[in-house]
């Protein structure tokens, strides 16, 4: 079992991702993620989830793991991840689960990798 957790201050993240014509937003998120038209609060939660997954994979976002290798999709009831490239390779046969919550100005996520079926 491998775990990763992350906490994001929503207002600070939103400020960072909306300045400079959204260049950071384009770097952190895939076309597929942005096509779902997430709110800025959802983007903060998605960022936190990407960080949690990267930590659970044991690398964080080092030079071998791209932000594009982890896609996060948020619905009203769930947070799902789709891994590709190096992230998928690192996950191996592990099953990924993500727990996410917002409280006040904070997004908190937890990623759990367990032996998969």
Angle between helix axes 10-18 and 40-56 (nearest 10 degrees) is 100
pLDDT tens profile 86-97: 999 999 999 999
Q: What is the mean pLDDT of the chain?
A: 94
Structure confidence by residue, pLDDT tens digits, 12-53? 999 999 998 889 999 999 999 999 999 999 999 999 999 999
Query: If you search the block for the tokens 């903060």, which residue do you land on?
Result: 44
Flag whether pLDDT at 74 surpasses 70.
Answer: yes
**pTM of structure:** 0.94
Contact between 98 and 81 under an 8 Å Cβ cutoff? The reply is yes
The number of domains in the chain is 1
Which CATH number goes with the domain that contains 11?
Answer: 3.90.470.20
Nearest of 114, 84, 83, 85 to residue 97 by alpha carbon: 114
- The full DSSP string for the chain is -EEEEEEEEHHHHHHHHHSGGGHHHHHHS-HHHHHT---HHHHHHHHHHHHHHHHHTTS-S-TT--GGGEEEEE-SS-EEEEE-HHHHHHHTTEEEEEEEEEETTEEEEEEEEEE--
What is the domain extent for residue 97?
A: 2-115
User: 54 — phi, psi (to 5°)?
Assistant: -60, -40
Share of the chain above pLDDT 90, in %: 85
Mean pLDDT of the region 58-63:
88
């Amino acid at each position: 079992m491998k775990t990763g957790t992350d906490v994001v201050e929503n207002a600070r993240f939103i400020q960072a991702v909306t300045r400079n014509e959204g260049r950071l937003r384009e770097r952190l998120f895939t076309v597929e993620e942005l096509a779902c038209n997430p709110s800025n609060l959802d983007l903060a939660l998605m960022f936190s989830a990407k960080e949690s997954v990267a930590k659970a994979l044991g690398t964080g976002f080092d030079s071998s793991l791209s932000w594009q290798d982890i896609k996060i999709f948020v619905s009203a009831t769930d947070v799902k991840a789709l891994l590709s490239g190096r992230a998928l390779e690192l996950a191996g046969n592990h099953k990924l689960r993500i727990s996410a919550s917002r409280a006040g100005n904070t997004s908190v996520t937890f990623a759990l990798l367990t032996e998969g079926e």
